Amino acid sequence: MMIAMGTLLTLATAPAPAAAELTVHCDAPGFRSSPTLWGLFFEEINHAGDGGLYAELVRNRSFDGPRPLESWRLITEGDGAGEMALDDSRPVSEVSPRSLRLRVDRCRDGRVAVANEGYFGIGARRGEEYDLSFCARRSPDLGGTVRVSLEHASGRVLAQAEVEGLSTEWGRYACTLRASADCPDARLVIAVSDRGTLWLDHVSLFPRNTWKHRANGLRPDLAAMLADTKPAFLRFPGGCFVEGPDLENAWRWKTTIGDPVERPGHWNLWDYWSTDGLGFHEYLQMCEDLGAEPLFVINCGMACQARNGPAVPMDELEPWVQDALDAIDYANGPVDSTWGRVRARNGHAEPFGLRYVEIGNENWGPGYEERYARFYRAIKERHPEVTLIANARVSSAPVEVIDEHYYNTPEWFAANADRYDSYDRSGPRVYVGEYAVTQGCGQGNLRAAVAEAAFMTGMERNSDIVVMASYAPLFVHVSKRTWNPDAIVFDSVSCYGTPSYHVQRLFGRNRVDVVLPTDLVCGDSSVVEPGRIGLATWDTQAEFREVRVTHGDRVLYAADFAQGTGGFTPQAGEWSIRDGAYRQTGTIQFASASAGDTSWVDYTYSVKARKLSGAEGFLIKFRERDDANWYWWNIGGWGNRRHAIERSAGGNKTTLGDPVDGHVKTGHWYDIRIELAGPRIRCYLDGRLIHDVVDKGPRIMAASAGWDESGGELVVKVVNLSDAPQVTRTTLAGARRLDRRGRALVLTSNSPDDENSLARPDRVAPVELDVSIPGPDFTRTFPPHSLTILRIGAKD
């Protein structure tokens, strides 16, 4: 039930049948929380920048890339006749080798024009002004006037103007258009009224009203959504966008500054052209305007995840290292430094103050080890004040902060709310640079948001080691959903936040300065599922023998592959018997076969396995009820780099416990044993214990708490992940002089599958309630699938 803001609720002090108990130890304050904990990660994906946050309205303004005429088309009306084509005969500049040629053959009683439809339609707002600029030249037989307009696709004119004085040599021209009506799918039209030829390049249309009223600026409604989260930092420009599809199309900051006309742009691995109008300077300016620390991700000479082409050879790496040093100089150098002077010339004399640099994105392995060390030493020698962030644990140079990325199921995020409770404090600090529920989430539902909130309480409770975190991705255009889900969804004129966005906003606006210890006790939800056994592979060919299932001294199952399949039923793959072994030799990505009884509960499952060829190792399935509900021990998974126990519940997969580094050798027979005793699972490889975990089952609740010193308030965050209301006895141990009134910020809805949309942007949105605080001990009922933040004034 959604309650209107301002309603007064009394938190019960009378005894109640509490299903959970939450204790906040106000008398035992812990460490100071990281001031940079909650931030933003921006990547040019889903048209987040071009066609989104970057306010340019014309698509393919300079006719670059493999689809240079996308969104452009020829208009001929009445007896008008002509042709639109690309022309590289007399380019306006070296960085823009092609222009658009409009040849008019006849237009006495008609019209010949070119039109640009923008990024899935140009959004026009009544009364708003739009600044048009373009480079042009004309043939001598063409008059010097062109007519420009904003129009609906039907031809209805929303704004128009004439630009006079066009020369036969290249020049830059400009005018202003004022829209007479709202229109989400307008187009920009440039028409001539004489026979002849017109050449165009860098056709740009910007709303006069940009965020902070900056030239080459940002779309105000989208930027305001970012500002409303109160971000401590902004990581940019990616993501895989940094490396590009190959090194030739890697993002290079020096080509993204200065006059937008002189920026060549590049092909984005997310399948569209990036103008780089939103460049290095604009990112730094955005950080300053947001009040956020800039976190710049540099290219360390490797393609995306080192998978697209070779890395830059070590003996050719110096220019890339120098690029990183020059970027820091541009951001931080005095106006008399080489690049500080360029920054000042671009309109910002004062340094931006770049203090965080990440070396690469999602890179790892020996190639990353040696490149990380090269960049680390060069940057630290010149800029010891800059904190450097690594993509992986390396031994080649010190690691100050490591970037960890998590995309998984709601169940995984809920189960890992305590992931950092026992994290090694002797190693590097952690930046959770990308995380989101990406399965069972629709296009961004409440279930995903609540699971992320549970995970975030764990990061907040451990913000001595987790010093930064940012959800990903940030933006998606409704017509270019390359990645799903995302925090903010938009079209040409409107936008909304998903439930995950609201969780980010609530945490960002309700930070704590000092973390308080919490004890949360809920009902037991340990899982003991029955199920049969199975054998499976992923992009791998393997063989198995000596399959045995026992319960104490009792043999439940023993496969004799010399006599046939041993009772195994294949579901996928090419399975056969050879030399007393059960073989999977198909090249299919996932192959599996099952055997046994779905009523088995506690048993010991042993098998010998040998890899024949392929990318990974073995998937040893147990407690398998059906195709969607099972466990497996993933041996040599993730590219043959680690082992882990995974559980699938309703098709949503979750990792139990921590993965362990390890790989599978081809040709070696492995002894595999899995022992199941209630919720406890132990896995042995060649007699060595690899995993010992207790399947705690679905987490019901999660919580964190702390002091907001500036507001003088106790802040308690409680997440209910279950389908039922959770009556919770809450004790604020040692709290003194509590205010009698407080606030509750509650995010929930009628169903965990509820989502927001352009039609219903606030279907899932937080509400603020006034609450009466009877004392340090009270009972509160937390709604199903909800995040609740209690703010209670308190004095020492």
Among all residues, which ones are annotated catalytic? 362
Stretch (H or E) spanning 122:
strand 122-124
- Token code pair at residue 620: 């040893």
Q: Which of 151, 155, 171, 152 is nearest to 163 (CA)?
A: 171
- Token code pair at residue 522: 């809920």
Stretch (H or E) spanning 671:
strand 669-677
Q: Which of 664, 438, 431 is nearest to 541 (CA)?
A: 664
- CA distances to 110, 274, 364, 474, 784 from 47, rounded to whole Å, are 36, 9, 28, 11, 35
What's the CA gap between 352 and 349, in Å, rounded? 9
Q: Which of 334, 382, 340, 336 is nearest to 357 (CA)?
A: 382
Contact 786, 450 (CB under 8 A): yes
Contact 74, 187 (CB under 8 A): no
What 3-state DSSP class applies to 455? helix
Contact 762, 5 (CB under 8 A): no
One-letter amino acid at 695 equals D
By CB neighbour count within 10 A (0-12 exposed, 13-18 middle, 19+ buried), where does 499 fall? buried
Cis-peptide into 473, omega within 30 deg: yes
Contact 95, 259 (CB under 8 A): no
Main-chain dihedrals φ then ψ at residue 217, nearest 5 degrees: -100, -160
- Token code pair at residue 655: 């990792």
DSSP for 756-789, written as a single string: --SSSTTSS--EEEEEE--SSEEEEEEPSSEEEE
DSSP for 255-298, written as a single string: GGSS-GGG---EEETTTEEE---S-HHHHHHHHHHHT-EEEEEE
Main-chain dihedrals φ then ψ at residue 716, nearest 5 degrees: -120, 125
- Token code pair at residue 796: 């020492």
Cis-peptide into 260, omega within 30 deg: no
What's the CA gap between 446 and 755, in Å, rounded? 7
What's the CA gap between 69 and 781, in Å, rounded? 58
